[in-house]
Amino acid sequence: MPQVNEFTEIVHLLKDEITGAKKTARKANPIPFGQERVKNKAAAMARFQNLSPEEKRAYIQEQGLENVMKMVRGK
């Protein structure tokens, strides 16, 4: 049986691990940078009510008035 340099073997193992991690990451549903995910609409509403007026304006501009109105109405 041929012998392989231990560092070469480590590099191959790392390559396999990185490849597996990339495949797993592609299947994931990541949260975009600078955003957060809440569990339900009640939590979203509570979070929205605690925002400052400037943050509320930015949130409405980002999400759209119609989506924010649906959240507030509970639909």
The string of pLDDT tens digits covering residues 1-49 is: 688 899 999 999 999 999 999 999 888 888 888 888 888 888 888 888 8
Tell me how far apart the alpha carbons of residues 69 and 22 are, in angstroms, rounded to a whole number: 38
pTM over 0.85? The answer is no
Tell me how far apart the alpha carbons of residues 35 and 4 are, in angstroms, rounded to a whole number: 46
